[in-house]
Amino acid sequence: MSTVAFTPTPLNPSFNSHKFVRTKPNRFSLQSKAIVTSDPFVLELAETLEDSLPSSTAPLQKLREASSESLLSTPWPSRRDEPFRFTDLSFLRYSNILPVSQHPPTTTLPAADSTSFLSLNIADGHPVTPLSNSSQLPQGVYVGTLSALASTPIIDRVMELMCAFDAGDLFWSINGVGAPDATVVYVPEGCRVETPIYLRYLAVEGGAEGSKTMRMSNPRVVVVVEKGAEVGIIEEFSAAEEGNDCYWTNSALEAVVGEGAKLTHSYIQNQSSSSAHIKWTSIRQESSSTYELTEISTGGKLGRHNLHIQQLGPDTVTELSTLHLSVGDQTQDLHSSLVLDHPRGYSRQLHKCIVAHSKGQAVFDGNIKVNRYAQQTDAGQLTRSLLLEPRASINVKPNLQIVADDVKCSHGAAISDLEESQLLYFRARGIDPKSARRVLIFAFGGEVIEKLPYPSIRERVRSQIKSLLDPSPK
């Protein structure tokens, strides 16, 4: 993959005057410098995307430029590219992709369902302020749009982070070009945010079921958890209402977890079965920080999560748990990479998936790099899959690359149907095999659901998974 190296520089006021050059057909100012491998499809996509956006706001200008530069040198991925070897993007490729309207949709959005969260709706990529229960926000914490952010030091901090990640792919760049604004979560040093922040991504616009039109949105979130601070973030992706089911959510979240800080991240994806959901999560962990992720993905015709975690200092703790469920003609894909460059990192990754449909598919590529200085790393990775139907498929590629010599690493992969001995145990107590299977399949996923830190969300996810696995109870 060709990426363009980019050196982050402090925000320079001169950027304000730097206009995005728009001279057709060479729309992008930086195109002349880019390697000319532009894919016409990608070019066209970039153009429509750019047309849909208002003239760039200053803070995002730099991101857009950097993103468009790499975008133009990156072709649409094919099955020949390793990261997409098992993930077929052709249904997106042959859709008529239109950006969502530039103004936040006026549809009445569902209100926050409880007072136990600070909730913020992000409709078609546009953060819809205000935040609910904002009185519960501790002093100095900011949750809102980048464009409305007044504090220059925070803007600088966000910008520094925003342009630092260079391992993204085409979709990361598309998001960088197409994000209308960014949602910023900023937690200052030593601050513990008791109430979790609930980001509700809603797809509002969409093509009708069966139509070839996909409406694309590019939500972007930046999270900064400063030294010793602590915050919980829930990302939930769903549709605002049924009917407009053909949409493509191309989301990105990047976060830095400061020294000794902790970020608890829950990610729930239950978008419609004809939608595409592509997400990037890029995390940078400073020394002694903790990052915990629990992902439950059940929706979309295509669900792809690219998770990248970079260790910036020693003694980090990283816990990743994922449950993927394919109950229809759909693909769930997790590509994760954890890069350890410092001593005494601790990481645990659990990936579980259930493919319960003959056209269902799951993909897992989990890479852990234990580099030269990452001595005394303790890294564990386990992937377990249930294949419940003939022709259902799963491709897993757990991989550890270990350079350091004093480490404890383990990985395991298991793909199977349910255990016969467990089924027999139920049957020997008079329980019919169908009910036994249902309970066992649910219990398999339960291990990940249990890790969701908030009871109300855990319960909701539990019943949602139950109904997906068993659409007609009794």
Partner 1 sequence: MGLLSLTFHPSPAFNPSIFTLPPHRCHRPSSLAVRATSAAGTPQPLLQVNDLRAKILESGVEILHGVNLTVNEGEVHAIMGKNGSGKSTFAKVLVGHPDYEVTGGSVVFKGENLLEMEPEERSLAGLFMSFQSPVEIPGVSNDEFLVMAYNARRRKLGLPELGPLECFSYLMEKLQLVNMKPDFLNRNVNEGFSGGERKRNEILQLAVLGADLAILDEIDSGLDVDALRDVANAVNRIRAPKNSLMMITHYRRILDLLNPTHVHVMDKGKIARTGDISIVETIETEGYETVAALT
Binding positions for partner 1, rule: CB under 8 A? 419-422, 424-433, 435, 439-440, 442-444, 446-447
CB 199 within 8 A of CB 160: no
Choice between 8 and 380, CB closer to partner 1: 380
Tokens in use for 443? Answer: 């219990």
Residue with tokens 């513990």: 192
Choice between 94 and 425, CB closer to partner 1: 425
Bridge partners, 364 (sequence order): 334, 396
Task: Give the DSSP letter of residue 246.
Answer: B
Task: Give the DSSP letter of residue 79.
Answer: T
What distance in Å separates the CA atoms of residue 338 and residue 377, rounded to the nearest whole number? Answer: 12
* Stretch (H or E) spanning 63: helix 58-72
Choice between 1 and 439, CB closer to partner 1: 439
Tokens in use for 80? Answer: 């020949």
Tokens in use for 174? Answer: 């598309």
Amino acid identity of residue 465, one-letter, is: I
| b/e per residue 219-246 (b: at least 16 CB within 10 A) | bbbbbbbbbbbbbbbbbbbbbbeeebbb
Measured torsion, CA atoms of residues 453, 395, 318, 270, in degrees rounded to the nearest 10: -30
Instruction: Examine residue 130 and say whether the peptide bond preceding it is cis (omega within 30 degrees of 0).
Output: yes
Choice between 194 and 432, CB closer to partner 1: 432
Choice between 7 and 421, CB closer to partner 1: 421
Choice between 155 and 423, CB closer to partner 1: 423
Choice between 400 and 415, CB closer to partner 1: 415
What distance in Å separates the CA atoms of residue 395 and residue 393, rounded to the nearest whole number? Answer: 7
